[in-house]
Structure 1
Amino acid sequence: MENKRLAAAMAAVRMYIKTEEEAAVAAMQNQAADAAAKSLAAAQGGQMNLWGLSGRQAIMNANAMIRQRMFK
């Protein structure tokens, strides 16, 4: 019985750590995307190509869904 409790506690801690790591990675990706959008806007002289930006966003969202295996 004690082994089951220990195993459950270790699994819970591991799941918590994994969730925090995934949240940190997502936050870093959001920061990188924001920085890329700002640099793109600065390179274009303040104008943003909204059509191009939305197209790239759609492609990134589709790739994310494929990586998460939502289409199986």
Structure 2
Amino acid sequence: MENDRLTHLPDRKRRELQRAAQFLFDEFEETQKPSSPTRESAARILKLILFGSYARGDFAAICAERLGTPNASSAEAG
């Protein structure tokens, strides 16, 4: 997983996503093992796509809003 695209997330969330991605890749690899020595699979995972606040990059802002605490970007702006 490309960490440079996850820099907007807290370390804990990045680690959670890395574990989830590793699980997906491991399980996919397991299902792609040939059932016979002559069969080979060319299937592979090309991307994992995030949705919602993780993808938009406003995860921290939403969390701060729900907790009633200012996040770093709103503190800098004010």
Compute the TM-score of the two structures, normalised by the length of structure 2: 0.34
Which one has the bigger helix percentage? 1
Q: Which one has a bigger Cα radius of gyration? A: 1
> Bigger relative contact order, structure 1 or 2, given CA contacts below 8 A and separation 6+?
2
Compute the TM-score of the two structures, normalised by the length of structure 1: 0.37
